[in-house]
């Protein structure tokens, strides 16, 4: 099953949850957002831990929502180009 197929398959059940239990759904979203804020561990490390758990549990639905996050988390930070200071005359 492709990434898009997994997301398409989950779209309706997630919509149904949001409609039937909106307060719980909002609370879950807020909790998820709070978990991935930098703290004792940075957000990238937390995302990689979450991915490792999802892979171990073979949970397609856990892996599908953030396909670029593991790649982005593993990528070294971009360095801004250094500018050589030109001497003032």
Query: pLDDT for 42-66, tens place per residue?
Result: 988 998 898 899 899 988 888 876 6
0.95 exceeded by pTM: no
Query: Which CATH number does 3-73 carry?
Result: 1.20.1290.10
Strand, helix or coil for residue 85: coil
Boundaries of every domain in the chain: 3-73
Signed CA dihedral, 13, 14, 17, 19: sign only:
negative
Whether pLDDT at 22 is above 90: yes
Whether pLDDT at 30 is above 80: yes
Euclidean distance between CA atoms 48 and 74, whole angstroms: 8
């Amino acid at each position: 099953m492709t990434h898009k197929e997994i997301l398409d398959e989950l779209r309706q059940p997630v919509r149904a949850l949001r409609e039937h239990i909106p307060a719980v759904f909002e609370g879950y979203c807020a909790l998820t957002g709070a978990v991935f804020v930098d703290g004792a561990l940075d957000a990238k490390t937390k995302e990689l831990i979450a991915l490792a758990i999802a892979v171990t549990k073979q949970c397609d639905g856990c892996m599908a929502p953030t396909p670029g996050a593991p790649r982005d988390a593993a990528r070294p930070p971009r360095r801004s180009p250094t500018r050589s200071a030109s001497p003032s005359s």
